[in-house]
Structures are given as C-alpha cells and as structure tokens.
A and B are shown apart, each in its own frame.
Chain A
Amino acid sequence: MFFEAMALFLMLNLAAGLVRVARGPTAADRMTVAQLFGTTGVAVLLLLAEGWGRPALRDTALVLALLSGLAVVAFVRFLPGAGSDPGGEGS
C-alpha cells in the first residue's frame, strides 16, 4: 500500500518530466529526460519488488540501470556536431 503510493508518486513525477521533452530546446535536454526515466524506473521497480514481494523485479531494476547508461554513451558518440575527442572548447 505504502509502496504503491510511492510508486504512483514517482510515476506522476515522470509524467511531469515529459514536459521537458516537448519544450527542451536542445537534444541534450531531451536526453536528460531519458536519464530521469531510467533512474526513476529503477526506483519504481525496487519499490514494487518490495511491495508485491517479487524479488525478480530487482534483477529487472539492475538490468535497466545498466542499459540506460549505455544509451547515454551512444547518444554522445553517435550524434554528429560534437565529436567525442577531448580538447578544444565550444565557441
């Protein structure tokens, strides 16, 4: 009951975060929302694992945490306009 309430609260947070995807002027702003969803998703899964007594959801949270980090690395490596080499500052 308590855990479901906290999970619901975190989901409402996520719904609010979608505004940034709509508005955020640059691609980096939108990517941070994906980060937020990843971390909050981990928290929701952990809370539900406790609340419903399903230890398998902890494994799901672990996998989610690992793979969402990978997405950000792909973002900075694949998108053109800012290379991934160090040195040199933006104008």
Chain B
Amino acid sequence: MSIVEGLSGVLIVAGGFFFLAGTAGLLRFPDIYTRLHALTKADNLGLGLVVAGLCLRARSWAEAVTLIAIWLVVLLTGSTACYLVARFALRSGIRPWRHR
C-alpha cells in the first residue's frame, strides 16, 4: 500500500469517526440546539475528511473538483439548515437546556 493510499485511508477513517460522533451527539444530547451542533460536525468535518481522503485517490482534477464541490454544497446546506431549524425551534418556544 503506497503512502498516498495509506494517508487516504486514515483520512476516511477519521471522517467516519466524526460521523459516529455526530450520531452519538444526536442521540445523547439534551435538547434540539445541542443536537444540531453535533449534527453539523458530521456535515463539516465528517464529510470533509472523507472527501479529502477520496480526493487523494482521485484520478483526475475534474474528479477532485467534483468531490470538493459536493462538500461545499453540503457545507452550505448544512449550516443554513442548522440556522433555520434552530430559529424554528426558538420561535416555537423551545428553551435551550440549562445544566442543573
């Protein structure tokens, strides 16, 4: 296994770890706002690391640019979605969780 392949594998596994963290947060955090925070980590870092790992193995520049474009779309969509859902929840009257 060449160095590039090994590095790509490490990046993809790291991305998978952040996906796991996102799901764990989604299940265990106490309210919608903290869950959104966990979810966007999966969007940004999880997918970002997976895309970085795949870019290293890309066969052409076009392929790498496509991968990065997908990541940018998900980044933009994820952050807008997080903001919109949080505002929706706030105006529905859900109060942020306070540590007792």
Contact = CB atoms under 8 A, between A and B. Distances in A.
B26 A20 contact: yes
A79 B88 CA distance: 10
Main secondary structure of the interface of A (DSSP, over half): helix
Contacts of A40: 19, 42
Nearest to B74: A65
Interface residues of B, number: 46
A43 B47 contact: yes
Contact of B39 (A14, A35, A42, A46): A35
A75 interface: yes
B46 A43 contact: yes
Interface of B: 9, 12-13, 15-16, 19-20, 22-23, 26-27, 32, 35-36, 39, 42-43, 46-47, 50-51, 54, 57, 63, 66-67, 69-70, 73-74, 76-78, 80-81, 84-85, 87-95
